[in-house]
Structures are given as structure tokens and as C-alpha cells.
Structure 1
Amino acid sequence: MKIITRYIFKEMLPPFFINIIFFTFIFLMVQLLEITNMVVNYQMSIIVVGLMLVYSMPYFLVFVIPMSVMMSVLLTFLRLSSDNEIVALKSCGFSNYTFLRPAFLFAFIGWAITSLMIIYGMPNGEMAFKGLISKIAQSSLHIGLKERTFNDSFKGVTIYVSKINPKDKSLQDIFIEDQRTENMISTVIAPKGVILKDINQNIFHLRLHDGTINQVSLERKTTNAIHFDVYDVKLDLEKAISGVKTDTKSEKEMLLSELKDTLKSKTRDRKYYAAAIEFHKKFSIPFSCIVLGFLAVPLGLHAKSSRPSLGLGLGLIFFLLYYLLLSAGRVFAEKGTFPPEVGMWSPNILMALIGIYLFYRRL
């Protein structure tokens, strides 16, 4: 029994690593355009870009590992079936239950790795990524600003820029709402500008040209319009960065203990449901390794063909079904249609029921 378990387990390792490498390659190809843009236009070093990818990997692997576990089990049993090794083992008195042991052992290892990734790797990766972006923004404001996005990182200031040229740091179609002066709201609109940095301090200036300032005095209840040729908006990046570091963590950045503290709240608001979803997801997604690994056993044992393309197709169909159910469960749980635990665990329950049905139907 131990020899058979060890043999089948070893057969699962090559397709597992091939799947991990393949999907990691796909992930890098998807990011290739953004990586090229960072290196060429924003002059980021390869080391910095590499760190950004490393910090993003836990989130990616959380979904790739369960998929790779399922594919490995499926492809292994497809090959064993095609080589008539399954028939030979059954003729020696081994039942289908024999094949569950290596599958569950392999799936358990996948569960352990995925649990580490989603409980520790993903929150720390998100925080490290956030910290790295903050450090980059300290030296390059144009990296921190995003085109066609309202940026409110600076206290009392909201910035919108239609287009940013990273090479000469020029700006086009700028909108700024400045509420840093008490009882005064200033709206600045300019067709063009440029980013300048104070060499001695961590302060940037947005130098705007040919624009208009509309000032509203809340105390006097008056308005004033001023046209300017050149106007500088001072931005203290230190305050913005410190604000980013002390802001409340998102649910993805929280550890289990922090999520539990959030769930102690009696108010059933959006934040509560988001935390509850994230909490249950940290257990349900790793457990999918075991469920999908089990489902792959009857699919592989009784397939009529061992072509890898068939195995890939079957694996993708069931994994996509699982992922669609998980996404739908998240949406309904966020709306409060049904409890978060139902939304996060129902895909596992459904896949397990399908696996049990197929396994006992073909005994």
C-alpha cells in the first residue's frame, strides 16, 4: 500500500510544477506591458519591478495552487488509466479507495501551502507592496499620480490629471480642489503644467500655466475668480506618505486577529461584511485544494481518453465553475442576501457533492 501511495504521489509532482510554472509565465506575460512601461518611461530599476512582482505573487498563487493540485491529480490518473495501470492494480485487489490516499495526501500539502499564502503571505505582501509604492512616490510624484483618477493622498487636496508625460513630467488638463485654507475652497483648472521637486525637502510643486482659480469663501459666502499665467501648488509628500501608512488597513491587508476584531462590531455595515467574507475566504480557498483534488480522482479514473488536452479541459471547466460560484457568493454576501459563510463555503460543498456522486457512482 505504501509503495503504491508513494509511486502515485511522485507521479503528481511533475504536472504540479509544470502547472505552477505555466501559470506564473502567463501572469508575467500579462504584466509584461506594465513592466516595460515602468522600466522605460518611469526609469524604475529591475530590482524594484521584481519586488513588486514578488509582493503580488501570494495573491496570484492562492488561486493557482488549488488549480494546479486538481490538474496534477487529474492528469496523473488519466495517464495511469491510459497505461492500464489502474486495471492492473484493481486486478491485484486494490479498490478505488486505494487511490484516494495519495490524492488526499497531495491535496493536504496544497492546502497547507495555500493556507500559509492566504493567511500570512497575502496580507504581508499587500502591505509590503503598499510600502514600496510609498517609497517610490517619495522620489517620483508622477509615479504616485494616476491619469484620469481623482488622487486624494494629500490632506485637503484632490488632484485630477488627464495626461502625464513621465519623461519630462509634464501634465495636461489639470483639476485641483484645495481645502487647506480654513473656510476657503479653491478650485484650480489649468490646461498644462509640470512637476517640480524641492531638492532639499520632500516637497513637490505643481507649476501650472494659463489657468483659472475659483475661490469660495464659506465665511463671507463670496466667490472670486482669478486668471493666472503661472501658479504653483505646493504638496508636502511626507504628510501624504505618513497618511498612507497610518490609514486603516483594507480587509486584504488584515491578519486573522485583525479580522476577528473587526467582526466583533455589532454594526452590520459594508466593512463588517467585507471582513467576514475575507475571514471565511482564508479558510475556504485553501480547503478547495482538498475538494478539487478529490473531485479529480473519479474524473481521472474513468475518463475514456488520457489526452492532456482532455484533462486540461475538464480541470478548467470545474475550476472555472468553482471560481464563478465563489465570485457570485462574494457578491451576494456583500449585499447581505445571505451570510458570508454561505457565500464562501457553498462552492466547496457543491464540488464535494459532485465528487462524492461521481466516485460512488463508478465504484
Structure 2
Amino acid sequence: MKLLQRQIFLELLKLFGLTVSCLLGLILVGRMLQLRSLFLSQNIGILNILQLFFFLTPFFLLLITPIATMLSVFLTFLRMSTDNELVALKANGVSLYRMLPAPVLFCSLCTLFAFFISFWGLAWGMDMFKTKLYYFAKTHSKFALQPGVFNKEFPGITFYAHQVDNEKGELKFAFVRDDSIKGTSVVVVAPEAEVVSKPQQAEIHVVFHNGRIFRQSGDELNILKFGTYSIKLDLGKLLTGFNFVEQKAKDMPFFRLRDIRKDHGLMPHEDDRFFRKVDTEFYKRLTLPLGCFILGMFAIPIASVFRGLKQQYGLLLAMGLFMVYYTMFSIGVSMGESGTIPPEYGMWAPDILFVFVALFGMRYANLERTPTVVHWLLHLRLPGRKEEAGA
């Protein structure tokens, strides 16, 4: 039995490592172009990109650990079932329950790992990600324009230049429109301008020479001539979607969420929607790690019941079942944040449902009985096979 448990545990670990690596790699590659597009110019080296991805890893690991746990257990027991190893073990008096110590230990370790990420790793990763992202924006980005193209990278500001020399920072026939002030529109036009970068201050200055300023406020229009006029731009505004001042529930440590739930006075300027997000995020940090153990146990009877199924079809089946879980989970998040239902109901519902299915399925799998619904699914193509045999 010790040898059996060791072999099952090692196979689970190998599949878990392979699954996490593949899923994490696919996610991070998909984010690469999105991350690079946050900057005006492509001056961020691959090592810097990898460093940013490393800090995003805890966020993604919290999402993929449950499915990686489920796939590892499912594929392991599906292989054992397909190779008739389960039949041989049961023929020698080893019941399904006696095979459980290894997967239980494996699922417990995955759950503890997910709890560690949920309680501490997620907030640390997001803090470091924002810090490094802002640092790279200051030290690596520069203002790069394309000639004859309107640039709207900065919120509320539109740039245009007929001729551009990005190496020297020189602009010819430059135009800028500033709508960042509510109710007021400012247009600056000049035959010449230059771009001065100040990375250490996270600022860029666009200096116009011998131009005009058109300022419109309501029905009033003012026109001013100038010799030199400078516009200051904050590089931090390049980071679309990253507000370094606003506190978001998804970026907070777990224990900070707990304290805010107990005392709303810690965030006196926030509204009810913010506190609903805090409640939802709090239960999300609890239910996702527990989902590792529940989905892992759920996968054992499913793999045993669908014995003989090819691994590629088994993989699709497992992914489909996880999508059911994740869809319920996403609906719970949306309804909890909107206030449609209490967050705890929506967040705990998928785990509770899958616990009952796992217990029910484990009993059937140990008795080597197939539920009627599964029996019907396995024989959907039976009439077609009979027709082929008759032909």
C-alpha cells in the first residue's frame, strides 16, 4: 500500500506541475502584448517584462490551482481506470477508499498552497507589480509620436505633429488639445516644439515655441500669443487601468478585507457598492482555495465512472465540468457585487453543490455502480452502432 500511495502521489505531482506550467504559460503569453501596449514606446526589455509577469503570477495561480488540482486527479485515475489498474487493485481486495490517502494528501497540499496565495501572496504580488510598473514607466518610457497621426495615449489630451524626430525630440507644426479640465477646451498650436523627458520625476515636458493658445470656456474664446509654452505630462497616466491612489478590494490582503468588513469606518468615504465588493472578495479568498480540495475529490468518482474514456475526451470532459463550477462561481461574484443576493450565498453555492456530487459519486464508484444519467450518456451512440452492425 505504501508503494501504491507513493506512485499515485508522484503521478499527481507530475501532472500538477505540467498543468500549472502550461496554463500559466498560456495566460502570461496572452498578457505580454497587452502589458507592452501600456507604454508609448517599446523600450521595456524582456527581463523587465518577465519580472512584471512574476509579480502577476500569484493572481493567476489562485485561479488556475483549482483546475490544475482537478485535472491532475482526474487524469491520474482515468489512466488507472483505462489501463484496468483499478480493476486489478479491486480484484486484490483494495477498495477505492483505500486508494484515497494519496489524493487526499495531494489535494490538501494544493489547498494550503492556494490559501497561502489567497491570504498573503496575492496582495504582495499586486503591490510589487504596480510599484515596478510605475518605476519602468518613469525610467524606460519616452514620448514617441508618429508624424501625421493623432495621439491620444494621455487621457483627455490629443497630440499631433506634421513632422517628428523622436530621436532628437523635435516636432514641426505641432498641435495639442487639452480637454482634461471640465467645461474648458485648450488648443495650443506652434510651428516648432520639443519633447523633454524627466524620467526621475516621472514627467515629460512638451515645450512649444512662438505659437498661440486658443482657450474656450462656454461661449468665451481667448487667444494668446507666446514665445515659449510648456505642457507637463505625468507618465503615471500612461498606465491605463492602474490607479495608484484608489484602493481596490481585489488588491487588498485578506486580513485587511476582514477588518473592513467588521468596521466600515476604516473606509469612511466609500459607498455600499465598495463594501459589497469587499464582502465578495473576502468569501472569494476562502472558497477558491477550498475548491482545490473539493474539485480534486470530485474528480475521483468522475474518472472511475467514465472508465474506458480516451484521455483527450477525458480532458474535454474535465474542462467542461470545471466550466460549470467556474460559471457558477462567476455568477456568484457578479450577483454578490451587485447586491442581488448576499455574497456568501453566491460564493459558497458551487462548493456545496460539488461536495454533494463528490460524496454521491464516491459511493457509486466504490460500489462499481453507474448512475442512470451517466449510463444514458455513455450509450447515446448505441443506436448508431446497432445500425452499423446490422448493415
Q: TM-score, normalising length from structure 1?
A: 0.80
Q: Does 1:8 align with 2:8?
A: yes
What is the aligned counterpart of 1:253 among 251, 254, 265? 251
Change (3 A) 1:235 1:342: same
Q: 1:68 deviation in Å?
A: 1.0
Q: Are the counterparts in 2 of residues 186 and 213 from structure 1 also a CA contact under 8 Å?
A: no
What is the aligned counterpart of 1:359 among 355, 359, 362? 362
Q: Give secondary structure in 1 for the equivalent of 2:138.
A: helix
Q: Does 1:312 align with 2:315?
A: yes
* CA distance in structure 2 between the aligned counterparts of 1:238 and 1:19, rounded to whole angstroms: 36
Q: 1:277 deviation in Å?
A: 1.0
Q: Are the counterparts in 2 of residues 38 and 44 from structure 1 also a CA contact under 8 Å?
A: no
Q: Does 1:327 align with 2:330?
A: yes
Residue correspondence of structure 1 range 123-272 to structure 2 within 5 A: 123-139=123-139, 151=155, 159-161=156-158, 174-177=176-179, 186-189=184-187, 195-198=195-198, 203-207=203-207, 213-216=214-217, 223-226=220-223, 231-235=229-233, 247-263=245-261, 264-265=263-264, 269-272=272-275
Q: 1:105 deviation in Å?
A: 1.2
Q: 1:262 deviation in Å?
A: 1.9
Q: 1:225 deviation in Å?
A: 3.0
Change (3 A) 1:163 1:318: farther
Change (3 A) 1:96 1:211: farther
Change (3 A) 1:268 1:231: closer
Bigger mean CA deviation after superposition, 121-130 or 186-195: 186-195
Q: 1:85 deviation in Å?
A: 1.3
| Corresponding residue for residue 154 of structure 1 | none
* CA distance in structure 2 between the aligned counterparts of 1:118 and 1:305, rounded to whole angstroms: 37
Question: Which ranges in structure 2 are unaligned for 5 or more consecutive residues?
Answer: 145-150, 368-391
| Corresponding residue for residue 350 of structure 1 | 353
Identity of matched residues, %:
27
* CA distance in structure 2 between the aligned counterparts of 1:19 and 1:236, rounded to whole angstroms: 41
Change (3 A) 1:148 1:351: farther
Change (3 A) 1:246 1:268: closer
Q: Are the counterparts in 2 of residues 136 and 143 from structure 1 also a CA contact under 8 Å?
A: no
CA displacement 1:317-339 (0-9 Å, x = unmatched): 01111111111111111111111
Change (3 A) 1:129 1:195: farther
Change (3 A) 1:127 1:199: closer
Change (3 A) 1:38 1:214: closer
Aligned residues: CA RMSD: 3.9
Q: TM-score, normalising length from structure 2?
A: 0.75
Q: Does 1:102 align with 2:81?
A: no
Change (3 A) 1:191 1:222: closer
Amino acid at match of 2:256: E
Q: Does 1:58 align with 2:55?
A: no
| Corresponding residue for residue 26 of structure 2 | 26
| Corresponding residue for residue 44 of structure 2 | 44
Q: 1:77 deviation in Å?
A: 0.5
Which of these two proteins has the greater Rg computed from alpha carbons?
A: 2
Residue correspondence of structure 1 range 293-312 to structure 2 within 5 A: 293-312=296-315
Change (3 A) 1:85 1:238: closer
* CA distance in structure 2 between the aligned counterparts of 1:177 and 1:126, rounded to whole angstroms: 31
Q: 1:197 deviation in Å?
A: 2.2
Bigger mean CA deviation after superposition, 93-102 or 75-84: 93-102
Amino acid at match of 2:222: A
Residue correspondence of structure 1 range 276-287 to structure 2 within 5 A: 276-287=279-290
* CA distance in structure 2 between the aligned counterparts of 1:28 and 1:199, rounded to whole angstroms: 28
Q: Give secondary structure in 2 for the equivalent of 1:232.
A: strand
Change (3 A) 1:148 1:317: farther
Q: Give secondary structure in 2 for the equivalent of 1:317.
A: helix
Amino acid at match of 2:277: A
Q: Are the counterparts in 2 of residues 148 and 163 from structure 1 also a CA contact under 8 Å?
A: no
Amino acid at match of 1:116: F
Change (3 A) 1:355 1:140: same
Q: 1:211 deviation in Å?
A: 7.4
Q: 1:161 deviation in Å?
A: 4.0
Question: Which ranges in structure 1 are unaligned for 5 or more consecutive residues?
Answer: 152-158
Q: Give secondary structure in 2 for the equivalent of 1:247.
A: coil
